Structures are given as C-alpha cells and as structure tokens.
Structure 1
Amino acid sequence: MAKKDRRIIRTQEAIKKAFLELMSEKTCDSITIQDISDRANINRATVYLHYLDKFDLLDKIMEEHINNMVNICESEAEMDWIESTVHCMEYLERNYLFFSTMLASEGAQYFRSRFVQHNIEEFKKDIDITKGKNVGQSEDIVAEFVANAYVGVVEWWLRNKMPYPPRVMAEKVGDLLERNL
C-alpha cells in the first residue's frame, strides 16, 4: 500500500474540518463548495480534486468514522464492556465536532441510522437468548433496543457537552449494557 502524501492528508483534513464546522452552523443544503473552500483557505478546485461534491465529502467522512468505530470494536473483542466502552467514549470525545454535528444537531439522520446499524451488528455478537435474562426474547429486538439506547445516551452526552469524562460515562453505560445483554 502506497504511503499518502502529507500535503494531501493535511488538505483533506482541512476540508473535512471546514465542512463539519459549517454543518454545525447551518444546514447541509445551504453549504456550498465555495463556503467549504473559503473556510479551509483553499481553492474551490482543490475541493473538487478530492471530492465529487459535498455529499461525497459527507459520505467519506461518515464512512471513515464508522470504519474507525468498527476497528475499535474488533480490536477490543476480548475486553469487558466497560473497558471497551471507555475506548469508544474516548474516540467520541476526540472526534467531538463530528459526532456532535452528526448526532446532536439532527443535521444528518443518515449518519444516525448507520451508527445505530453498526451498533446493532456489534451488540448481536454478545446477545444470548438461550439463557439468562434474555431467554425467549428476539435477538433482533434486544439488539435494536440496546443499540438505540446506546446511541441515545451518546447523543445526550454530546448534546450536553460531555458532562462526564469518557471513563465515567463508559462505566455507567457499560454497567447498563451488562444488565441488558
């Protein structure tokens, strides 16, 4: 795999940051490529060099974060709920601008549904409906319930400007997850 030029990486990061800042200020529909290029302090043509349009940019940003969350979950498969959740909460904290824009502002319902779907797939790996408190339940319903509750709590945490540090939040959420899975 070829190493990516640092200038390209810096430019793409500037474009993504500018776009997310703009999305936190106004609707996606009202954002123009000129707005993005002005905010990123680059030429309009440079944005088009990297992305087809603002929707391609948004899709690539969402895909990057979903993939990062998948990688976190896969690398922590052997961890307990709380330790695994700490890493997820720390990732959310490091990427506050993205997640607060995508989840808390209701500016991107498409991302929310993808984030919920990702969590459903992850939680299904840990649901056991053959014993314990979930006997007789539907795996689909339990996964849907837990994933939506988790995303709802994340939205609340971000909307309230992360009133608990990631570790405290992870312990609280991890405890709730253990009760329901």
Structure 2
Amino acid sequence: MGVKTDRRIAKTRDTILQSFISLISEKNFEDITINEIADRANVNRGTVYFHYQDKYDLLNTCIELYLNKMISATTTTDANGETIDLIQSSFLPVIRYFEENHHFYVSMLSNKGIPAFRERMLELVTSHINVHINMEGNNKEYSKELMTQFIGSAFVGVIEWWILNSMPQSPEEVADQLWGLFKRNQVIN
C-alpha cells in the first residue's frame, strides 16, 4: 500500500511542477497564482499547498531539479563505481542536455521575474570552474577568483545566448567552439 501512495504523491508533485513550468513559459513568474497552478494541474489549491509552501518553494524545487540534472549530465560512473567528470574532455554532454531541455531553459532564462535561476546556474558553473581551472602559464598573473567569475559568466552568457536565440548552431559546434576558447585561454589543460 505504501508504494502505491508514494507513487501517487510523486505523480501529483510532478504534475504540479510540470503545470508550473508550462505557466512560466506563458507568463511572468510574478503574475502566476496558486489557483492557476492548481487549475492547470487539475488539483485543488490545498493539494498544491500540501506539497509546496508557495510558488517560491515551487520555483526553488524546479531550479534545483533542473540544475541537478545539468550536473548529472556532466558525470558518469566507471566500472569501479568511480565518478568520471565528462567536462574534462568535452562540453558536448552538457550542451546536449541544454538542447534536450530547451523548453525549460528558454522559459526560465527569458522570464524576467526569475533572476534567481540565472544566478544559481552561474554559481554552479563557477564552483565547477574553480575546481578545474588551470592557473599556470599566462593565467598565473591573474586572480583565481576573477578568472573563475570571468569564465563562468562567459560560459553562462554563451549558453543563455544560444538557448534564447533558438540554438542557431548545433550542440557539436557550440561544444567544440567553447572548448577551443577555453583551451586557447588556458582555462583547461
């Protein structure tokens, strides 16, 4: 009985989340109401409040879910159970992830009421860069913090431009060109 209940709860939560995401693609976040979310999800207001405190809780859940998926797209596990960071050899896995989730990212990045999404994405990207940045060669003259912010902002800016402009280049082209720019600027080895 517990498994069935858990599945129903998970399905209801997911339905509410997907309804919220579809509303974000149609209107500004600030204009979305709990009633609209409930109507779209075909549940009552109380059900929405049972699962989420308010629309900000729903937004934060949404942001964390998709950014965690972004991180998962950049790693894999080898035969020994060790985590392998795919970003060490190519940006293609993460660019393909953005392509596969284009609808969500265009909604979040184009919605002026959600600056927290871009900020959180930038925070994740810069923390990853901070771990992997090459501070040798020409880069040793620079502050690691400044370099990390510069490169993180450039990466997120390119992804934002690519998504908001309907992906004018293939994922392979974007991945190769970004990789080349990072290599040229000695950000990666």
Tell me if TM exceeds 0.5. Answer: yes
Q: Distance in 1 between matches of 2:137 and 2:112?
A: 37
1:158 is aligned to: 163
- 2:42 is equivalent to residue 41 of structure 1: yes
Q: Distance in 2 between matches of 1:104 and 1:148?
A: 17
Contact 1:124–1:143 (8 Å) recurs in 2: yes
The 1:17/1:124 distance shift into structure 2, 3 A limit, reads same
Deviation at 1:71, TM superposition (A): 3.2
Q: Which structure 2 residues correspond to residues 136-147 of structure 1 after superposition, within 5 A? A: 136-147=141-152
Q: Distance in 2 between matches of 1:11 and 1:103?
A: 26
2:51 is aligned to: 50
Deviation at 1:157, TM superposition (A): 0.9
Deviations 1:112-168 (CA, angstroms, capped at 9, x unpaired): 111111111101112222x22312111111110110011111111111112223222
Q: Distance in 2 between matches of 1:86 and 1:7?
A: 36
Structure 1 residue runs of 5 or longer lacking an equivalent are none
- Percent identity, aligned pairs only? 36
Contact 2:96–2:171 (8 Å) recurs in 1: yes
What is the number of equivalent residue pairs in this alignment? 177
Q: Distance in 2 between matches of 1:140 and 1:57?
A: 32
- Give TM-score, length-normalised by structure 2: 0.83
The 1:150/1:81 distance shift into structure 2, 3 A limit, reads farther
- Give TM-score, length-normalised by structure 1: 0.86
Structure 2 residue runs of 5 or longer lacking an equivalent are 77-83
RMSD: 2.1
1:176 is aligned to: 181
